[in-house]
Amino acid sequence: AQSVTQLGSHVSVSEGALVLLRCNYSSSVPPYLFWYVQYPNKGLQLLLKYTSAATLVKGINGFEAEFKKSETSFHLTKPSAHMSDAAEYFCALNSGNTPLVFGKGTRLSVIA
């Protein structure tokens, strides 16, 4: 069985500070990993995905994530938070054609 654990249901950072959202996974087969963002009252939007081509993945809006197999992690980072980054972030995984398995989400607040 596959699973995703997001550490911290709520993260608060100051504008301009580093954003770090943590995601650990469990999978018996090589996974594909994803980060999605959900802005208030909107559907989910893909930020980035890892598909084994490169361990450091760059996404939209300045976000990136690093796949670390030894740590079974896929943490999301952004060097400098902006007010517009305030949203809920979901880590997800699958393997090939299976449905996505989502973590419980992390709500990011950005303080001016």
Partner 1 sequence: DVKVTQSSRYLVKRTGEKVFLECVQDMDHENMFWYRQDPGLGLRLIYFSYDVKMKEKGDIPEGYSVSREKKERFSLILESASTNQTSMYLCASRTGTGLRETQYFGPGTRLLVL
Residue 106's nearest CA partner among 17, 33, 28, 23 is: 23
Q: Residue 49 and residue 45: Cα distance in Å, rounded?
A: 12
Q: Is 45 an interacting residue with respect to partner 1 (CB under 8 A)? A: yes
Under rule CB under 8 A, how many of the chain's residues touch partner 1? 25
Residue 24's nearest CA partner among 93, 97, 100, 96 is: 93
On whether the CB atoms of residues 39 and 87 are closer than 8 A, the answer is: yes
Q: Is 51 an interacting residue with respect to partner 1 (CB under 8 A)? A: yes
Q: Return the number of the residue (14 or 51) whose C-beta is nearest partner 1.
A: 51
Q: Return the number of the residue (42 or 68) whose C-beta is nearest partner 1.
A: 42
Q: Is 32 an interacting residue with respect to partner 1 (CB under 8 A)? A: yes
Cα radius of gyration (the chain): 13
Q: Which residues bind partner 1 (CB under 8 A)?
A: 6, 9, 32, 36, 41-46, 49, 51, 53, 90, 92, 94, 96-97, 99-105
